[in-house]
């Protein structure tokens, strides 16, 4: 029996989180769910976006599945996602990007994974007004953080029979910060001679990914570039509605749907729950429930490939509940 914290989130979050819970339970995994919410809706209701009970549950269970949480643009409370990653040192952001048969896209056969350093870089949001009309942000890159994300990427490649790791940077301009990251990645690569290593500048990488994504396998990068590249790559396989994600630390992991909370369709029962269901499969892998995880992935692929029960974003008319039921029937 595994005890897991479930954070439904905002907007469509409660609907898709419930769908993922049903699928995971139906796959045979023995999960005891602790359900506590966080986000914008809770802030409006209670004045606190993340109550202490969420932290207490996370610290007890060490594993969580999370729906999308709204982050205000330009004002308001700080990103809860960033806060959780920093508070619990969830330094690996893991984003598998895999083509799904039945989703018609310009490219087929994409199978890559992004390792994004999750705790530092300019993405941490350390910024201030230096003077009226002039704002500054701090970009921090350390050898320690760069080394552990590089080791994580190479270890993953070695254990999953991956052929190549590509480090993405802007060291031609940011010679100290990105230069330190690149230097560290190169040094780590020498301990894995069986795995090909290359590096590429971020802007060139964006072009390469939209022209020949099949050339890439494991992508290793810093926080901000990883945030951008992971969404770009999700677009290559159909969008964020099909992209699972994990935030993993030394002894805690939070699995999540990284798409938005979609308030415009919240409560209508038409949201696509694929991303959070696949994130749930990643969670089962982490918990050692490999059989259940594989059953879920196969059921999702079979449902989408069947083309008969799809949500509106996939070109169908099925409700969230109907799609979820189809996945369960295909387990």
Q: For the segment 188-227, what is each residue's pLDDT rounded down to a tens digit?
A: 999 999 999 999 999 999 999 999 999 999 999 999 999 9
Q: Which of 236, 252, 276 is the last residue of a domain?
A: 236
Judged by DSSP in three states, 1 sits in coil
Q: Which of 121, 170, 199, 216 is catalytic?
A: 170
99, part of any domain: no
Mark whether 82 and 166 lie in a shared domain.
no
- What is the rounded distance in angstroms from the CA atom of residue 282 to the CA atom of residue 258? 14
Do residue 158 and residue 111 come from a single domain? yes
Boundaries of domain holding 280: 1-93+240-331
Same-domain status, 273 and 328: yes
Q: How many C-beta atoms surround the C-beta of residue 69 within 10 A?
A: 27
User: Which of the listed residues 220, 236, 252 is the one where a domain comes to its end?
Assistant: 236
Choose the catalytic residue: 88, 91, 123, 216: 123
Q: Which of 10, 121, 178, 227 is catalytic?
A: 227
The verdict on residue 123 lying in a domain is: yes
pTM: 0.94
Judge whether 62 lies within some domain.
yes
| 10 is an active site residue | no
Residue at which a domain ends, from 183, 212, 236: 236
The residues, any chain, with a CB within 8 Å of residue 25's CB and separated by 6 or more, are 31
Q: How far apart are CA 325 and CA 3, in angstroms?
A: 24
300 and 274 Cβ atoms separated by less than 8 Å: yes
What are the tens digits of pLDDT across the range 241-253?
A: 999 999 999 999 9
CA triplet 21, 312, 96: central angle to 5 degrees?
55
Q: Does one domain contain both 119 and 190?
A: yes
Q: Residue 13 — pLDDT band, cuts 50, 70, 90?
A: very high
Cα three-residue angle 294-25-37, rounded to 5 degrees: 110
Q: Is residue 100 part of a domain?
A: no
Residue 236 neighbours by CB under 8 Å, 6+ apart:
97, 99, 105, 106, 107, 110, 209, 210, 213
Does residue 79 surpass a pLDDT of 80? no
Give 83-137 pLDDT, tens digit per residue. 899 899 999 999 999 999 989 899 999 999 999 999 999 988 888 899 999 999 9
> Tokens representing 162?
């991956």
Same domain, 114 and 61: no
Q: Residue 96: in which H helix or E strand, if any?
A: strand 92-98
**Beta-carbon neighbour count of residue 161 at 10 Å?**
7
Is residue 154 helix, strand or coil? helix
Q: Is 212 a catalytic residue?
A: no
CB atoms within 10 A of CB 163: 10
Query: Given a cut of 60, is residue 48 above it in pLDDT?
Result: yes
Q: pLDDT tens across 49-77, in order?
A: 888 999 999 999 999 999 999 876 655 66
Count of domains observed in the chain: 2
For residues 1 and 223, give the distance between their C-alpha atoms in angstroms, rounded to a whole number.
34
- Same-domain pairing of 117 and 230: yes
Tell me: pLDDT of 282 over 60. Answer: yes
Q: Which long-range contacts (CB under 8 A, 24 or more apart) does 42-48 make?
A: 43/77
User: 33 exposed, middle or buried (CB, 10 Å; 0-12, 13-18, 19+)?
Assistant: middle
Given 44, 144, 175, 203, the catalytic residue: 203
To the query of whether residue 128 is one of the catalytic residues in this protein, the response is no
Active site residue 203: yes
Residues β-bridged to residue 65: 6, 255
């Amino acid at each position: 029996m595994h005890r897991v914290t479930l954070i439904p989130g905002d907007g469509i979050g409660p609907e898709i989180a419930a769908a993922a819970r049903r699928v995971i339970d139906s796959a045979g995994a023995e999960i005891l769910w602790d359900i506590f919410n966080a986000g914008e809706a809770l802030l409006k209701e209670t004045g606190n976006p993340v109550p202490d009970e969420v932290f207490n549950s996370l610290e007890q269970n060490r594993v969580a599945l999370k729906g999308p949480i709204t982050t205000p643009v330009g004002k308001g409370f700080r990103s809860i996602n960033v806060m959780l990653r920093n508070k619990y040192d969830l330094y690996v952001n893991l984003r598998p990007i895999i083509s799904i048969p039945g989703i018609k896209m310009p490219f087929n056969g994409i199978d890559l994974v992004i390792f994004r350093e999750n705790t530092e870089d300019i993405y941490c949001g350390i910024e201030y007004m230096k003077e009226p009309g002039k704002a500054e942000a701090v970009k921090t890159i350390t050898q320690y953080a760069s080394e552990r994300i590089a080791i994580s990427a190479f270890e993953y490649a070695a254990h999953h029979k991956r052929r190549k790791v590509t480090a993405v940077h802007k060291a031609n301009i940011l010679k100290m910060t990105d230069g330190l990251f690149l230097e560290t990645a190169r040094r780590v690569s020498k301990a894995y001679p069986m795995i090909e290593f290359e590096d590429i500048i971020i802007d060139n990488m964006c072009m390469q990914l939209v022209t020949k994504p099949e050339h890439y396998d494991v992508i290793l990068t810093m926080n901000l570039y990883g945030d951008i590249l992971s969404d770009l790559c999700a677009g290559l396989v159909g969008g964020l509605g099909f992209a699972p994600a994990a935030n993993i630390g030394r002894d805690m992991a939070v699995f999540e749907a990284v798409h938005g909370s979609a308030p415009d369709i919240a409560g209508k029962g038409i949201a696509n729950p694929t991303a959070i269901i696949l994130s749930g499969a990643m969670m089962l892998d982490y918990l050692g429930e490999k059989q259940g995880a594989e059953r879920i992935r196969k059921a999702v692929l079979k449902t989408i490939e069947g083309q008969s029960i799809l949500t509106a974003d996939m070109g169908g008319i099925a409700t969230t509940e109907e799609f979820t039921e189809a996945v369960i029937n295909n387990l």
